[in-house]
Chain A
């Protein structure tokens, strides 16, 4: 298994909803990442987990809450999002912190 999987592929949520995005990899990679990409813009780093501990938080609003329950799984919990949070959310993993392997992303629409 040599890929990063993300579920769901698409998500529509209201501003009062709570939802979670899920990312999985079974390659034994020790670092996992969340990126956010708005339409026609480059990806922007949100969080980095290294050995299941949060190592980088790029000043992301608290309505986004990451969680790394084990070395294979990374979640992004969403609560009280705004329409401007609509974007493609990308997960990535890395064995050595030098080369990142990205998943296909979850396309989120906040109404």
Chain B
């Protein structure tokens, strides 16, 4: 499993963009970069994932460095509902490692009104 480094915590103001960084320098060529978040008292929730190219969906954008050793999750306009722990998980999914997501410590995001 690739090792990840994320800031322990970050803060943002409501309606401002948030850039959550993740270093994964030991990522393998077949690992996708997955981001999940966990709101208080809930199960984790899928946010986005990608392999090489930048990815966008309705929740967020994922910017992946050209060497794939780091990535950044971008929340374009933070809301109070985005306050959560954000996990960056490099993982080869499907096949024999069917869904073996290994969570690191994550980043606690606090959003101020």
Chain A residues with CB under 8 Å of chain B are: 4, 31, 33, 42-45, 48, 50, 55-56, 90, 92, 94, 96-105
How many angstroms from the CA of A101 to the CA of B101 in the assembled complex? 12
Tell me what chain A mostly uses at the interface: helix, strand, loop, or mixed.
strand
How many angstroms from the CA of A17 to the CA of B46 in the assembled complex? 35
Look across to chain A and name the residue whose beta carbon is closest to the beta carbon of B98.
Answer: A97
Query: When A and B form their complex, what is the total count of cross-chain residue pairs whose Cβ atoms lie within 8 Å?
Result: 59
Contact between B100 and A56, CB atoms less than 8 A apart: yes
Question: Known contacts being A43-B44, A104-B43, is A99 close to B100, with CB within 8 Å?
Answer: no
Look across to chain B and name the residue whose beta carbon is closest to the beta carbon of A94.
Answer: B99
Q: List 23 A-B contacts (CB under 8 A).
A: A31-B98, A42-B87, A42-B105, A42-B106, A43-B38, A43-B44, A43-B103, A44-B103, A50-B98, A90-B44, A92-B44, A92-B99, A96-B93, A97-B93, A97-B94, A98-B49, A98-B93, A98-B94, A99-B46, A100-B46, A100-B99, A100-B101, A104-B42
Look across to chain B and name the residue whose beta carbon is closest to the beta carbon of A107.
Answer: B41
Chain B residues with CB under 8 Å of chain A are: 32, 36, 38, 42-46, 49, 85, 87, 93-95, 98-106
Contact between B100 and A96, CB atoms less than 8 A apart: no
How many angstroms from the CA of A98 to the CA of B101 in the assembled complex? 9
Question: Known contacts being A42-B87, A97-B93, A103-B43, is A33 close to B106, with CB within 8 Å?
Answer: no
Residues of B within 8 A of A96 (CB): 93-94
Contact between A102 and B49, CB atoms less than 8 A apart: no
B29 to chain A, nearest CB (A): 17
Look across to chain B and name the residue whose beta carbon is closest to the beta carbon of A51.
Answer: B98
B70 to chain A, nearest CB (A): 20
Question: Known contacts being A98-B32, A99-B49, is A55 close to B98, with CB within 8 Å?
Answer: yes
Q: Kindly list the 8 A-B residue pairs having the minimum CB-CB distance in the complex, ordered from nearest.
A: A102-B43, A42-B103, A97-B94, A97-B98, A98-B93, A97-B99, A94-B99, A50-B98
Look across to chain A and name the residue whose beta carbon is closest to the beta carbon of B106.
Answer: A42
B5 to chain A, nearest CB (A): 14
Contact between A102 and B45, CB atoms less than 8 A apart: yes
Residues of B within 8 A of A43 (CB): 38, 44, 103
